[in-house]
Amino acid sequence: MTMTRIKVPLLDLQAQYAPLRAEIRTAVDGVFDKLAFIGGPYVQALEAELAAYTGATHGVGVSSGTDALLVALTALGVGPGDEVITSPYTFFATAGCIARLGARCVFVDIDPKTYNIDAGQIEAAITEKTKVILPVHLFGQCADMAAVNAIASKHDLPVLEDAAQAIGARDADCRMAGSLGTAGCFSFYPSKNLGAAGDGGLVTTSDDALAHTMSIMRNHGMEPAYHHEILGGNFRLDGIQAAVLSIKLKHLDSWADARRQNAEHYRELFTERGLDGAVTLPWVRPGVHHIYNQFVLRVAADKRDPLLAHLRSHDIGCAIYYPSGCHTQPALKDQGFKAGDFPQTESAALETLSIPIYSELTDEQKHCVVDVIAEFYGA
């Protein structure tokens, strides 16, 4: 069989932008015409749309996914001496925000099948200093929130979802990420499933008091004008970002469906090529709605980097999310962890590899990706 040689980027934002170009440009003109640059009607509209979309009561637009975590953790009262339970296999921001508040990251290892926090190990990590449980919905699949919430309510602890990679994902009970805990944090970093034209983020919650605290905290804790009751900062969302996001939100579900179809197509292609033994495909917890921010392969540790190099040499975009756990990051060395503390995280960091899954991926591109992987394995 002759192999088709085409370029397959890990993500192609041009393909997403092209059909929306005119609509987005008109909306951005509207932001200028109304001078609605920071906060204002576009931000308020997006907040209402995303609250409705996720099923939470409130949406609080903020400057990034990282700031969503920082504002939510601060509003939940996390500070020096407190402990926050989370998993170490995540983007650094999750742990970084805990540490920036002077709190301690209490890491719980991941379930090796889903890469999400192993809920069965959470209870043993709870102490009288525990302030928040912070599950991450990694790669677009919800953590086991029924299990997390059961432990949290038993110990009367708030749950903050890091849903940065999981907008539109649903747990087994059909509820959406962002409405599953006390509050949920979203990122609009351009490579997320709902990406802005720059940085942006949002916190969802159905707790009225928490929503109010966060909405003033993002603006220096100011209410009324020039009265500062609580210590906040500048964590505001721009009107241009909100205007772009409201347009893209209308397409989010169809984009997620296309990602899900790509995932199913990959499963067929990997099986057809007899790659099932060499490559473990993403495992989906029964009943959950996975939105595939990433499609993560798992291979033998000694094959991972050579496979990455092979794919790249054939112009196929791929990446490692993440090459190490947060617990061994130099910036978190004061947290007191060491290599070996979280074996499932450390194995995943050596064995995983993400391949293109974006909505506009063509059949030819998917065939090409699988052909190149099959060639690597001599299949």
Ligand X SMILES: *Cc1c(COP(=O)(O)O)cnc(C)c1O
Q: Which is nearer to ligand X, 319 or 372 (CB)?
A: 319
Give min distance, CB of 350 to ligand X, in A: 20
- Pick from 161, 160, 247: nearest CA to 197: 247
Q: Which is nearer to ligand X, 39 or 96 (CB)?
A: 96
Give min distance, CB of 196 to ligand X, in A: 9
- How would you class 308 by CB atoms within 10 Å of its CB: exposed for 0-12, middle for 13-18, buried for 19 or more? middle
Cβ–Cβ < 8 Å for 143, 164: no
Residues 198-217 that bind ligand X (CB under 6 A): 199, 201
Q: Which is nearer to ligand X, 44 or 191 (CB)?
A: 191
| DSSP letters spanning 245-282 | HHHHHTTHHHHHHHHHHHHHHHHHHHHHTT-TTT-BPP
3-state secondary structure of 177: coil
Q: Which is nearer to ligand X, 149 or 193 (CB)?
A: 193
Supply 297's token pair: 């392969």
- Of 136, 203, 243, 256, the residue at the interface with ligand X (CB under 6 A) is 136
Beta-strand pair 160-162/183-187: parallel
Size of the site for ligand X (CB under 6 A): 15
Residue nearest to ligand X (CB): 65
Stretch that binds ligand X, among 75-83, 108-116, 161-169, 263-271 (CB under 6 A): 161-169
- Whole-number Å distance between alpha carbons of 232 and 227: 12
Supply 23's token pair: 């609509």
Give min distance, CB of 94 to ligand X, in A: 5
Q: Which is nearer to ligand X, 109 or 199 (CB)?
A: 199
- Per-position x/- string for 11-50, each x denoting binding to ligand X as judged by CB under 6 A, each - no binding: ----------------------------------------
Give min distance, CB of 66 to ligand X, in A: 3
Supply 344's token pair: 């499932």
Give min distance, CB of 232 to ligand X, in A: 18
Q: Which is nearer to ligand X, 235 or 270 (CB)?
A: 235
Give min distance, CB of 96 to ligand X, in A: 9
Length of the chain: 379
Residues 271-330 that bind ligand X (CB under 6 A): none
Q: Which is nearer to ligand X, 66 or 215 (CB)?
A: 66
Supply 11's token pair: 């993500």
- Pick from 304, 333, 334: nearest CA to 319: 304
Q: Which helix (H) or strand (E) holds 194?
A: none
139 binds ligand X (CB under 6 A): no
- Per-position x/- string for 52-91, each x denoting binding to ligand X as judged by CB under 6 A, each - no binding: ------------xxx-----------------------xx
User: Could you tell me the strand order of the sheet in which 183-187 lies?
Assistant: 58-62, 201-205, 183-187, 160-162
Residue with tokens 């003109």: 29
- Of 74, 86, 87, 94, the residue at the interface with ligand X (CB under 6 A) is 94
Supply 229's token pair: 């009751």
Q: Which residues contact 29 (CB under 8 A, 6 or more apart)?
A: none
Cβ–Cβ < 8 Å for 190, 196: yes
- Whole-number Å distance between alpha carbons of 245 and 194: 7
Contacts to ligand X by CB under 6 A: 64-66, 90-91, 93-94, 136, 162, 164-165, 187, 189, 199, 201
